[in-house]
């Protein structure tokens, strides 16, 4: 018999890739943090001797969810600016608070809170965009969470960098520091078309091409952004990126709520990917990404939550439900996105958008063992006729029982094993008190 570290046996297994039916009574064998095999339970027990065997008799085992776009530290602003449209929300509520309060301690405490929330919800990987990315990277690595950390670039000075040259220099240093790291990767993150000039975008394009790094940015997020771009450049933002050579397979367009047929044509021809953040976009009144149309044209679509200041959570399972409802409502065709599509968007397509599709996002031999397990035997999701539909439309994050990152059992039996959850919550509440005192409470 072969030795493995862990054998997880479940009533159902959803590998995502290779595509196929739900696997009943299957197991995942794990060694040295990676998946060795996915096979029937009885065969697994005769083939492998496991140091630890885990039985999940009423559960579905699947790849951990990938939150392809968030601003993790913004958990500290959860519920801070409610019931306002995107422009005032960003320019009058969020940015003034961040200019005053965001520092390395804030980013660390907010990122720890975000990771605690995500691991409890079966999220094993997140793509982040925030100042002090080195703090995000260090925090994720210390807490054994997979993170793709955005190297943020804007034209304006902040407490982290004085201008685009320093943003890029610091970002490249961080990229070099974590090159080859098993948990932390990086991508270029110019904030948005309205905060980054042409010269800076051209430099990022050249570096991205040279280093083969993704370029993720907020794009076509609001009608205001489109109008502003036309005023300043005479072009829609995506047309401007195309002119600058950034509409290519490395582009990851986040939000994309303001879409014309020519935009879909451009993305399809470029081979770019899109991150759909339905709850944040709906809550801010920005519209909705036409995910069905994009997928029909061959444009890969992943799921993100955006930051908790606008969503107000980091729950990818809930995001799947919203994306499914929204697709049926927009197209008038129930099933225009089926459960299998939504699960793929929440796992493998998210990993691919972050440049990690070869190492995570599906249950395949050789990939990192990034997994989550969800108990279906509760009144809200029982009986089970269709495992995928039950998972997408009848489950909540509270049903997640286990989360593994690179084979490490980071969440089990209701406990986060690598952080002091009580201390994390206490620090977050201290930030709440500090921010409310400095800005007149949360109802201003």
CATH number, domain of 405, equals 2.30.40.10
Has residue 421 been placed in a domain? Answer: no
pTM attached to this predicted model:
0.97
Q: Is residue 170 part of a domain?
A: yes
Residue bearing tokens 């076509």: 220
Residue 361 in domain: no
42 and 107 inside one domain:
no
Question: Do 303 and 391 share a domain, yes or no?
Answer: no
- Burial of 42 from C-beta contacts in 10 A (0-12 / 13-18 / 19+): exposed
For residues 207 and 266, state if they share a domain.
Answer: yes
For residues 12 and 123, membership in a common domain is answered with no
- Would you say 317 and 66 are in contact if contact means Cβ atoms under 8 Å apart? no
210 class by beta-carbon count within 10 Å (0-12 exposed, 13-18 middle, 19+ buried): exposed
Contacts of 210 (CB under 8 A, 6+ apart): none
Mean pLDDT of successive 10-residue stretches along the chain, which has 444 residues? 97 96 97 98 97 98 98 96 88 90 97 98 98 98 98 97 98 98 98 97 98 98 95 96 98 97 97 98 96 97 97 97 96 92 98 98 98 98 98 98 98 96 98 88 48
In-domain check, residue 218: yes
Instruction: Determine the pLDDT at residue 441.
Output: 61
Tell me whether residue 132 is in a domain. yes
* Phi, psi dihedrals of residue 400, rounded to the nearest 5°: -70, 125
The last residue of one of the domains, among 353, 379, 404, is 353
Structure token digits, residue 192: 């948005």
Q: Which of 303, 327, 353 is the last residue of a domain?
A: 353
Q: Are residues 316 and 385 in the same domain?
A: no
Q: Both 321 and 175 in a single domain?
A: yes
pLDDT given for residue 335 in this prediction: 85
- Exposed / middle / buried, residue 297 (Cβ in 10 Å: 0-12, 13-18, 19+): middle
CA–CA separation, 101 and 97 (whole Å): 6
For residue 109, being part of any structural domain is answered with yes
Helix axes 104-120, 133-142, angle to 10 degrees: 40
Is residue 49 a part of any domain in this protein? yes
Q: Within this chain, do residues 373 and 343 fall inside the same structural domain, yes or no?
A: no
Among 353, 386, 401, which residue terminates a domain?
A: 353
Task: Choose among 122, 102, 182, 120: nearest CA to 147.
Answer: 182
pLDDT at 87: 85
- Are 136 and 285 members of one domain? yes
Report the pLDDT value the prediction gives residue 91, as an integer from 0 to 100. 87
Q: Which CATH number do you get for residue 96?
A: 3.20.20.140
What distance lies between CA 233 and its chain's CA centroid? Answer: 31
In terms of domains, do 111 and 6 share one?
no
Give me the domain span that covers residue 75.
65-353
Residue 286: which of 258, 314, 244, 260 has the closest Cα?
Answer: 258
In-domain check, residue 120 = yes
Same domain, 87 and 59: no
Q: Which two tokens stand for residue 382?
A: 């029982």
Residue 444 is predicted with a pLDDT of 39
Number of domains in the chain: 2
Please indicate, yes or no, whether residues 55 and 71 belong to a single structural domain of this protein.
no
114 with 184, same domain: the answer is yes
């Amino acid at each position: 018999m072969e030795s493995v570290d862990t054998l997880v046996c479940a009533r159902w297994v959803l590998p995502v890739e290779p595509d196929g039916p739900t696997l009943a009574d299957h197991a995942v064998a794990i060694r040295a943090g990676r998946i060795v095999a996915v096979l029937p339970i009885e065969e697994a027990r005769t083939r492998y001797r496991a140091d630890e065997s885990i039985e999940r008799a009423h559960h579905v085992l699947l790849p951990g969810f990938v939150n392809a776009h968030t601003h993790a530290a913004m958990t500290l602003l959860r519920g801070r600016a409610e019931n306002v449209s995107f422009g005032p929300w960003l320019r009058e509520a969020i940015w003034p608070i961040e200019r005053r309060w965001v520092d390395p301690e804030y980013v660390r405490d907010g990122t720890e809170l975000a990771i605690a929330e995500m691991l409890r919800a079966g999220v094993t990987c997140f793509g982040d965009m925030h100042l002090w990315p080195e703090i995000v990277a260090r925090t994720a690595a210390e807490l054994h969470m997979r993170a793709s950390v955005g190297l943020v670039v804007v034209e304006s000075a902040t407490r982290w960098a004085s201008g685009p040259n320093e943003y890029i220099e610091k970002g490249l240093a961080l990229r070099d520091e974590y090159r080859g790291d098993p948990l932390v990767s990086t991508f270029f993150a110019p904030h948005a078309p309205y905060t980054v000039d042409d010269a800076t975008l051209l430099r990022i394009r050249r570096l991205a091409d040279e280093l083969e790094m993704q370029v993720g940015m907020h794009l076509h997020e609001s009608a205001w952004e489109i109008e502003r771009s036309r005023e300043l450049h005479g072009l829609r933002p995506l047309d401007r990126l195309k002119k600058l050579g950034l509409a290519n397979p490395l582009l990851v367009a986040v939000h994309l709520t303001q879409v014309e047929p020519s935009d879909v044509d451009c993305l399809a021809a470029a081979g770019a990917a899109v991150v759909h953040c339905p709850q944040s976009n709906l809550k801010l009144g920005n519209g909705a990404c036409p995910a069905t149309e994009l997928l029909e044209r061959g444009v890969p679509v992943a799921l993100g939550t955006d930051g908790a200041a606008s969503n107000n959570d980091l729950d990818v399972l809930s995001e799947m439900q919203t994306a499914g409802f929204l697709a049926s409502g927009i197209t008038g065709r129930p099933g225009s996105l089926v459960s299998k599509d939504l699960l793929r968007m929440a796992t493998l397509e998210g990993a691919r958008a972050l440049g990690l599709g070869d190492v995570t996002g599906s249950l395949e031999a050789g990939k990192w063992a990034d997994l989550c397990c969800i108990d279906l035997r509760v009144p809200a999701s029982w009986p089970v006729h269709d495992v995928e539909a039950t998972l997408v439309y009848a489950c909540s994050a509270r049903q997640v029982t286990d989360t593994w990152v690179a084979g490490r059992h980071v969440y089990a039996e209701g406990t986060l094993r690598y952080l002091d959850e009580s201390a994390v919550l206490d620090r977050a509440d201290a930030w709440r008190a500090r921010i409310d005192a400095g800005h007149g409470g949360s109802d201003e």
